[in-house]
Amino acid sequence: MSAVGIWTLGLALAYTAWLVIGGRWMVARQESRANFFVSGRSFSPWTVAFCITGLFSGSSYIAIVELSYRTGISAVWYGVAETVQVLLIALLLVKPLRRKLVVTVTGIIGDRFGRSAQGISALITGFTFPMYSLATSIAFASALYAITDIALWQSITLTAIILLAFLVFGGMRSVAFSQTMNVIMIFVMFAVGIWALVVSPGSGEIAEFSADRPEMFEPANAGVSLIVAWFGTFIVNVPLAQAAFQMSMSARTPEDGQKGLFLAAVIGIPLILLGIFVGVAAAMVVPDTGLPLVAISEYISGALPPWAAALFFVGMWACALGWAGPCQFSGATSLGRDFGRAIRPKATQAELVRYTRIALIGLTAVLIGLSLLRSEQSAWWNIMAWTLRNGATFAPVLAAFFWPLATRTAAVSALLGGFGAGLGWYALSGFSATDFFLGTHPVWIGMIVNMATLVVVSLTQVQWRPSPSPQARGRGAAALFSAGTVAVLTALKWEWLASYGLTGLALFLVTLGLFAAAFLAIVSKDPAEFVTSFWETSEEQPVTTR
């Protein structure tokens, strides 16, 4: 093992011990079991900012540094798309969700559509979050392997056990503590990264590199379809960003949660830029390496003293923990709290906390098991998780928010139909991370089936009519016109869209327009069947279910 590896393991062990001890310390300050899920809704704006920065900016940094090694400065659009997501959550959702005392997306589905929908959505969400955790853990494990020769699955197993150690006792308070520590460590990495850039490469090498590979400095080098997919991924994920909701809902007030997200968007900017610079510098100094994080590890190790390089790698580990920790906890909250309430409606708060701790242990085993099945492709797990969760929960969440006409049967059908369609399409693609059946990403198919099923089943179960409101009918007509326009353009430009891999997104937009038209312009004929939507209930009352 190299000197850098020895330093990295030593500092990582010390840092880990502090996270576990700190997590236990936070437990001692916890006043009640209710605080386990939302920390007594006591977070300041800065605490929320650190939580969100560790969640999104840390994981984005790893993604950007990999992407920029391959595609150059065009990786900036990944960071921009992630920042747009954070801002949209802050502007559109934090205040209304906080007023409703929301904890999870699966809780929203359960409150609106009943126990069956809550149980199914909680199972799907709970078991997909370890896939998100694994994706980032694989990325860091690749770098660790380059400097220590520790196998990928062993590194991921160690990460999973450490996550369990500091999450199982303190809940959201431990998340807040670990995220704050992770952000501090990430900015230590930032300082060390700047040092590496100053040392190598020099200005002469940059000029020579830009002449040899000018595409690395082109803003759209990653490809239009991929950049569009980044924005589509993050924007579609806005109403489903459960881990972000859970952290921002833990704020003292809705305004504090919103301020924290705005702060996180600002804090993330330097990390986005550093990821680009480090990735491009590594491409210059260590070119033509198959694994970008291995090349970046070699670049940092060669540019800096062993102890400084170790600080950089521990910072990258903090990025991985900053994403994986909240994902594991939020998944366990769905699996323990929401699935527990679905099967035992009268469970006490203490029992729900116990279920969630058991779920954390179970999801730790799932994370380790998944790493043994497939530990070489982080993108593969991101695609699988995004396809299964978004394909199942996208339409039911929007219906809970906006469409009183949706029924329980329709929600359950949409959950199962979208889940099955996305998984089936991915199977037809041979479960490839890059080559999809008919060039269409499986998540678009899952969400298309998800939306269509919810609307069709709902309309077959209730007596409906066009809204008596001229404004509502006008908005519905506008949505219908938009869907028709996109459909015509899709038909005319099919080959061009197919060449860029955009047909799935185009069909999704058509379906979304029809979905919106139904929401806006269709109401029940029978006032007795009317169900109050999420936004129309009082702050003290949950939504009425059918």
Same domain, 148 and 241: yes
Same domain, 457 and 480: yes
Same domain, 275 and 413: no
Same domain, 405 and 499: yes
Neighbours of 447 (CB within 10 A): 28
Domain end position, chosen among 351, 376, 401 = 376
- Report how far residue 479's alpha carbon sits from residue 485's, in angstroms, rounded to the nearest whole number: 10
Kindly tell me the sign of the dihedral angle through the C-alpha atoms of 371, 374, 377, 381.
negative
- Domain of 249 in residue numbering reads as 3-19+37-376
Same domain, 431 and 527: yes
Q: Does the residue 489 lie in any domain?
A: yes
- Report how far residue 268's alpha carbon sits from residue 265's, in angstroms, rounded to the nearest whole number: 5
- Report how far residue 354's alpha carbon sits from residue 358's, in angstroms, rounded to the nearest whole number: 6
Q: Does the residue 32 lie in any domain?
A: no
Domain end position, chosen among 310, 341, 376 = 376
Same domain, 116 and 254: yes
3-class DSSP state for residue 523? strand
Same domain, 407 and 356: no
Per-residue pLDDT tens digits of the chain, which is 546 residues long:
678 888 888 888 888 888 777 767 666 655 544 567 766 677 889 988 998 988 887 778 888 888 888 888 898 998 899 999 999 998 888 887 777 666 788 888 988 899 999 999 999 999 998 888 887 777 777 767 777 777 777 778 887 887 787 677 667 777 888 888 889 998 898 898 888 888 887 666 777 787 788 888 888 888 777 788 788 888 888 888 888 888 888 888 888 889 999 999 999 898 888 889 888 888 888 887 667 777 888 888 888 898 998 898 888 888 888 888 888 888 888 898 899 999 998 888 888 888 988 998 998 888 888 888 776 666 677 788 888 999 999 999 999 888 888 999 999 999 999 999 999 999 998 887 767 888 888 989 999 999 999 999 999 998 888 888 888 889 889 999 999 999 999 999 898 888 877 888 899 999 999 999 998 888 877 655 555 555 555 444 444 444
Angle at CA of residue 25, ends 23 and 28, nearest 5°: 115
Q: Does the residue 31 lie in any domain?
A: no
Total domains present in the chain? 2
Q: What is the secondary structure of 449-512 as a DSSP string?
A: HHHHHHHHHHHHHS-EEE-S-HHHHHHHHHHHHHHHHHHHHHHHTHHHHHHTT-HHHHHHHHHH
Q: Does the residue 458 lie in any domain?
A: yes
Q: Does the residue 382 lie in any domain?
A: no
Asked whether 73 and 219 are in contact (CB, 8 A), the reply is yes
Both structure tokens of 416: 């199962």
Match 């003290």 to its residue by tokens.
540
What single-letter amino acid sits at 62? I
Q: What is the secondary structure of 87-138 as a DSSP string?
A: HHIIIIIHHHHHHTT---HHHHHHHHH-HHHHHHHHHHHHHHHHHHHHHHHH
Domain end position, chosen among 350, 376, 402 = 376
